[in-house]
Amino acid sequence: MRLTGTGHAGLRIDTSAGSILCDPWVNPAFFASWFPFPDNTDLDWARLGAVDYLYVSHLHGDHFDREHLRRSVATTATVLLPEFPTADLEDALRAVGFTRFCRTRTNEPVDLGGGLRIMIQALTSPTDGPIGDSSLWVEHDGVRLLNQNDARPTDLGVFAGLGHVHAHLLQFSGAIWYPMVYDMPPAKKAALGRQKRARQIDRTIRYIDDLKASWVFPVAGPPAFLDDELWRLNDLDGDPANIFLDQRAFLERYHGQGHANGVTLLPGSVADVTPDRCVVTQPVPDVEQFFEDKARHLAAYRERRRPVIEAERAAWHHPGIDVFEGLKQRVEPLLAASTHLACRMGQVLLDVEDDSGARAEHILIDGPSRQVRHHDGEDAAHQFTIRRTLVEHLLHTGEVDWVNSLFLSCRFSASRQGPYNEAVFVFFKCLSPERLRHAETWYAERETDTEDIVLDDWVVQRRCPHLNADLSRFAAVEGNVLTCQMHGWQFDLDTGRCLTSGDHEIRSRRHDRVTESSGPDHRGGSRPRAED
């Protein structure tokens, strides 16, 4: 099996039974804030795009590049389609020109012929990607690959159960706006950045340790920030408070823990993988020197792409749009149709400012009252300061997912009172009736986990109340605080209170309070339910 890096989470998989192009991304994403790192514009896309199969893991702009798909990928390719709860991805690909679809079912292998087998695991909670994320497993001629990319499965066992995996590709770098855009003292922001960076490294290594693949390819990050106003977000000097670490920084940490199977996959890197070997040909003479010259590479890259950024900026202006009325007409019907999200999100203040930085309009989205109104001074737990031209463009285009456009762009500032509120950001990615119905149904159908495990001196529910991560694998306990390493959520085990968000509680108690009738100590495993 031959793997060719195409940049970020993208790669081409070649076998004698067919070729698969995964997540090809070239053009800037998220209001021209993210660019692929390293630059991949000079790859031979005519050759790379002539494939038998296309796999797009999800609709985030750094995985679904509409313009590039239309220009450079053969629309005769069969799309390997995850089993998502909405038709958004299929509709978007049909709009590009793709007509052939292989509709998969989650965790069910598909034989494509000639000994080529694939399986896609779709994650479908409202917090997974833009209403869905996925991972692709591929097998041919005794070689198995897992392209996990951005996805965060609660358990990799379904992939391991199909046989030993030889190549594991997964995200390692930041793909979020927190804490960089938040208004807070620099020392606090730096401390939170260090914490976030450490947690995402630890989570990645936990996944690697769980799967135990022969070779590990850190992919899906970091983006390059080429706009002058975002340049500060690039990690040019190994800053431990910067969440956008690059491949070399991750591999230094990974190899420093005693591992030796990490592989750098740059745009144009070729890895020939067999059951016994991984032979890599790099597009640069010296990979280490390339990362030493990262600042110079980015500076030259910025100059080449500056006209693209300027053209994007010019397209955001729509002065004829009334921002307040546009938001009111767009959001109030969704709030009226919402039961769970509207109540949970509370009040969100949008400070919409003009290009000079002057505060021009203060708009309150009041979830509990189902209203959009002018702010009259009342407290709002979440506050976002956004440039008017960006809001104009979101309304002009009818964008249904502000997370997959505005928030990931980092072109805003934020503050909040109290803990993180998941419902706020889920609502902003569900600005369509179809997406909102899915999110509302998902929250309505959630059931309490009744399985317990023992962790140190505590008995806790096995599944994290946030997104059901298996805490026997992803929990770290220090004193009376449990941290779920899947997403970094923390819980006070004495009270069950969530320290990260006010919306979740964990079932927990001291282990020394457990009686014999509670069953044996299943340390690191589950206690069977009574009906079992």
Count of other CB atoms within 10 angstroms of residue 294: 18
How does residue 260 score in pLDDT terms, banded at 50, 70 and 90? very high
Give one word for 234, left, alpha or beta, with left for phi > 0 and alpha for psi -120 to 50.
beta
What's the mean pLDDT in 157-161?
96
pLDDT at 522: 31
The radius of gyration of the chain's CA atoms, rounded to the nearest angstrom, is: 23
Q: Counting Cβ atoms within 10 Å, is residue 272 exposed (0-12), middle (13-18) or buried (19+)? A: middle
Sorted by where each begins, the domain ranges of the chain are: 2-307, 323-443, 452-518
How does residue 324 score in pLDDT terms, banded at 50, 70 and 90? very high
What is the pTM (predicted TM-score) of this model? 0.85
Q: Which of 276-280, 340-344, 487-491 ranks highest by mean pLDDT?
A: 276-280
Length of the chain: 532
What does pLDDT average to over the chain? 92
pLDDT(341) > 90? yes
pLDDT at 287: 96
Each residue's pLDDT tens digit, 21-60: 999 999 999 999 999 999 999 999 999 999 999 999 999 9
The distance in angstroms from the start CA to the end CA of the chain is: 43
How does residue 155 score in pLDDT terms, banded at 50, 70 and 90? confident
pLDDT at 503: 65
- Nearest-angstrom CA–CA distance, 280 and 264: 9
Single-letter amino acid code for the residue at 57: S
Instruction: Tell how strand 359-366 and strand 100-103 pair up.
Output: unpaired
pLDDT at 331: 98
Domain 452-518 CATH class label: mainly beta
Each residue's pLDDT tens digit, 503-527: 678 999 998 643 333 333 332 333 2
Determine phi and psi for 67, rounding to 5 degrees. Answer: -65, -45
Task: Give the bridge partners for 483, in sequence order.
Answer: 476, 490
Whether the domain at 323-443 and the domain at 452-518 fall into the same CATH topology: no
What's the mean pLDDT in 477-495?
89
Token pair, residue 361, equals 């309009």
What's the mean pLDDT in 11-23?
98
Instruction: Give the angle 48-51-55 at the CA atoms, nearest 5°.
Output: 95
Least confident of 116-130, 160-174, 229-243, 462-476: 462-476
Q: Residue 359 in contact with residue 393, Cβ under 8 Å?
A: no
Count of other CB atoms within 10 angstroms of residue 297: 16
Domain 2-307 CATH class label: alpha beta
Instruction: Tell how strand 18-22 and strand 53-55 pair up.
Output: parallel
Single-letter amino acid code for the residue at 414: A
- For residues 371 and 340, the model is more confident at 371
What's the mean pLDDT in 197-220?
96
Q: Within 13 A of 436's CA, how many CA atoms are on the CB side?
A: 20
Packing angle of the helix pair 247-256, 186-211 (nearest 10 deg): 60
How does residue 199 score in pLDDT terms, banded at 50, 70 and 90? very high
- Which has the closest alpha carbon to 171: 138, 210, 201? 201
Q: Any idea which residue has 């934020």 for tokens?
A: 414
Cis peptide leading into residue 28 (ω within 30°): no
Where in 240-381 does DSSP place strands (E)?
Answer: 270-273, 278-281, 347-353, 359-366, 371-374
Each residue's pLDDT tens digit, 300-323: 999 999 999 999 999 999 999 999
How does residue 160 score in pLDDT terms, banded at 50, 70 and 90? very high
Least confident of 43-52, 173-182, 361-370, 505-514: 505-514
Query: % helix / strand / coil in the chain, to the nearest 5?
Result: 30, 25, 45
- Nearest-angstrom CA–CA distance, 49 and 6: 10
What's the mean pLDDT in 163-181?
96
pLDDT(490) > 80? yes
CATH superfamily of 323-443: SCP2 sterol-binding domain (3.30.1050.10)
What's the mean pLDDT in 58-64?
96
Q: Listing from the earlier edge strand, what are the strands of the sheet with 475-478?
A: 475-478, 481-484, 489-492
Token pair, residue 311, equals 């053209």
Instruction: Tell how strand 100-103 and strand 489-492 pair up.
Output: unpaired
Q: Residue 405 in contact with residue 30, Cβ under 8 Å?
A: yes
pLDDT(528) > 50? no
What's the mean pLDDT in 82-100?
96
pLDDT at 119: 98
Max Cα distance, the chain (Å): 71
pLDDT at 426: 95
Count of other CB atoms within 10 angstroms of residue 407: 22
pLDDT at 527: 26
- Nearest-angstrom CA–CA distance, 142 and 152: 26
pLDDT at 516: 34
**DSSP symbol at 498:** B
pLDDT at 517: 34
